Homo-oligomer: A and B are copies of this chain.
Amino acid sequence: MQRIVVINPNSLQAVTDGLAVALARFRVPGGPEIACQTLKNGPPGIETQAHVDGVTEKLLAHVADNAEARAADVLVIACFSDPGVHALREVVRVPVLGIAESSYLSAAALGERIGVIAILARSIPRHRRQQRLLGLHERIAAEQPLELGVAELANEERTWSRLVTLGTRLREEHAAQSVILGCAGMARYRERLEDTLGVPVIDPTQAAVGIALGLLLARQVATSKRIAA
């Protein structure tokens, strides 16, 4: 039995539960199991570069200690800052997918220009480094921040209205041909926003798990467990 292990690197079980809901449709009969795990000793949110870097060691320990993660055939790190992805790739022999990288690459498969909606303006410089490192910075039409506080984000109508405003601006003013929801927790708006905007809207975790599923289906049998000691 193959298994995709999706690790939410923040400590909020509610976020993991949300991922599980968004990923339920990727659990296909006969296909790989999809386990969603919470990094219990992670920070409650990953909002700074310090959070990003600080999570790596805990992720590595988690993958070494957790039997399910150790047996994973693909690891997905479910945070739009892709924490620990390069570090895990050095020690683990199975594919390690970052959801930001996966969403940029999926968007690039659909058309020339990519729009991004960030939660906070202060994350944009960090995202810009990722885009340049990936090599796709020329393909980014623009990145716009929701810039909503916690209370506003909890207000679904307020959030929705802002998503539509930004998505429309990305499509109209910046000629974006797809829009990435730049966060692990906005999957519930994806389909509705795609229908409203008329261009593909990408949820990063779904993008990564889609790629993971493709990698595993390409193998006829589960690979032997390959995570290094």
List residues of A whose CB falls within 8 A of some B CB: 25-26, 28-31, 48-50, 52-57, 60, 83-84, 86-87, 89-91, 95, 97-98, 101-102, 105-106, 108-113, 124-126, 128-129, 132-139, 175, 177, 190-191, 200, 203, 206-207, 209-211, 213-215, 217-220
The answer to whether B101 touches A128, judged by C-beta atoms less than 8 angstroms apart, is: no
Task: Give the shortest distance, in Å, between A193 (CB) and chain B (any CB).
Answer: 12
In the complex, what distance in Å separates the CA atom of A94 from the CA atom of B107? 14
Task: Give the shortest distance, in Å, between A70 (CB) and chain B (any CB).
Answer: 16
The answer to whether B108 touches A106, judged by C-beta atoms less than 8 angstroms apart, is: no
Task: Give the shortest distance, in Å, between A46 (CB) and chain B (any CB).
Answer: 12
In the complex, what distance in Å separates the CA atom of A54 from the CA atom of B31? 35
In the complex, what distance in Å separates the CA atom of A210 from the CA atom of B214? 4
Q: Which residue on B lies nearest to A110, using beta carbons?
A: B95
Task: Give the shortest distance, in Å, between A124 (CB) and chain B (any CB).
Answer: 8
Q: Which residue on B lies nearest to A215, using beta carbons?
A: B210
In the complex, what distance in Å separates the CA atom of A110 from the CA atom of B101? 10
For A105, the chain B residues whose CB sits under 8 A away are 105-106, 108-109
For A112, the chain B residues whose CB sits under 8 A away are 125, 128-129
The answer to whether A213 touches B206, judged by C-beta atoms less than 8 angstroms apart, is: no
The answer to whether B191 touches A219, judged by C-beta atoms less than 8 angstroms apart, is: yes
In the assembled complex, 10 residue pairs joining A and B whose CB atoms fall closer than 8 Å, in A order, are A25-B217, A28-B29, A50-B90, A52-B53, A95-B110, A101-B109, A129-B133, A132-B138, A191-B220, A213-B217
The answer to whether A125 touches B218, judged by C-beta atoms less than 8 angstroms apart, is: no
The answer to whether A48 touches B109, judged by C-beta atoms less than 8 angstroms apart, is: no
The answer to whether B54 touches A57, judged by C-beta atoms less than 8 angstroms apart, is: yes
Q: A136-B135, A138-B137, A220-B191 are in contact. Are A53 and B48 (CB under 8 A)?
A: no
Lowest 3 CB-CB distances: which A-B pairs, in order?
A210-B214, A53-B56, A28-B28
Q: A105-B105, A125-B175 are in contact. Are A210 and B217 (CB under 8 A)?
A: yes
Task: Give the shortest distance, in Å, between A59 (CB) and chain B (any CB).
Answer: 9
